[in-house]
Amino acid sequence: DVKVTQSSRYLVKRTGEKVFLECVQDMDHENMFWYRQDPGLGLRLIYFSYDVKMKEKGDIPEGYSVSREKKERFSLILESASTNQTSMYLCASTRGADTQYFGPGTRLTVL
Amino acid sequence: AQRVTQPEKLLSVFKGAPVELKCNYSYSGSPELFWYVQYSRQRLQLLLRHISRESIKGFTADLNKGETSFHLKKPFAQEEDSAMYYCALNPLGTYKYIFGTGTRLKVLA
């Protein structure tokens, strides 16, 4: 059974802080994704990675960066958090273009 | 542009009534389409995908290329079907899944 875990369920940060969200999957999937989930807007892709050290921008990459140093781990970084980045962040992984397996989500509040 | 449209934000039905959650897509090639579901306090998970042609928890979805639709249907709704449902498109040859804005289904007793 695929397990995707995220480092925190809830996070509260202040404007301007650097924020790290981590995601780990245990099924040797090549592809990993970061999404924002906002009411009325659905899931929007921030970044995805198809291999170690490889990344591609999604639809809303501004204000975010990512890091994938190991196959099982994909980190989302908010260089300088802003209030409009308050959201639910979902990580997912897939093998090829197969079913996406999601983590439980991190609800980030930026004050 | 590639797009997935779920026109209803909220759909309320009574227990035992039929359910249809609408999904329309915009894509010029052969699409790979999915329905994902998120129950309260649970993670988002796959409900079904069109290539498997399965019925999961009584739900079915048929791809209609002429109408570019992939509506999710169930003949008799149950209270445990109450959840958020997302339709998703995976354009062939890419990993950039495109999700709709979601429909919240409420099944009333």
**Dist. CA A76–CA A2, nearest whole Å:** 21
Domain containing A85 equals 4-95
Nearest to B76 by CA among B100, B101, B47, B55: B55
**Does residue A75 carry a pLDDT above 90?**
yes
In the chain, the amino acid numbered B35 is W
List the single best residue of B9, B40, B44 to mutate versus A (max A Cβ within 10 A): B44
Q: What's the pLDDT band for A99 if we cut at 50, 70, 90?
A: confident
Nearest to A23 by CA among A58, A73, A66: A73
Domains and CATH numbers, chain B: 3-108 (2.60.40.10)
Count of the separate structural domains present in chain A: 1
For residue B2, the model assigns a pLDDT of: 86
Q: Is residue A80 part of a domain?
A: yes
Q: Is residue A109 part of a domain?
A: no
- Model confidence over B11-20: pLDDT tens digits? 999 999 999 9
CA distances from A18 to B20, B33, B105 (A): 44, 36, 37
Measured in angstroms, the CA of A38 and the nearest CA of chain B are apart by 9
Q: Is residue A100 part of a domain?
A: no
Q: Is residue A107 part of a domain?
A: no
Measured in angstroms, the CA of A80 and the nearest CA of chain B are apart by 26
Q: Is residue A110 part of a domain?
A: no
- Model confidence over B39-61: pLDDT tens digits? 999 999 999 988 887 888 999 99
CA distances from A28 to A4, A34, A95 (A): 11, 17, 8
Tell whether B41 is within 8 A of chain A (Cβ): no
- Model confidence over B30-41: pLDDT tens digits? 788 999 999 999
For B11, residues 6+ apart whose C-beta sits below 8 A from its C-beta are: B19, B21, B103, B104, B105, B106
Tell whether B8 is within 8 A of chain A (Cβ): no
Measured in angstroms, the CA of A107 and the nearest CA of chain B are apart by 12
Q: Is residue A91 part of a domain?
A: yes
Q: Is residue A111 part of a domain?
A: no
Q: Is residue A53 part of a domain?
A: yes
For residue B29, the model assigns a pLDDT of: 81
CATH code of the domain in which A54 resides? 2.60.40.10
Contact (CB, 8 A) for B74 and B86: no
Tell whether B11 is within 8 A of chain A (Cβ): no
- Model confidence over A27-67: pLDDT tens digits? 999 999 999 999 989 999 999 999 999 999 999 999 999 99
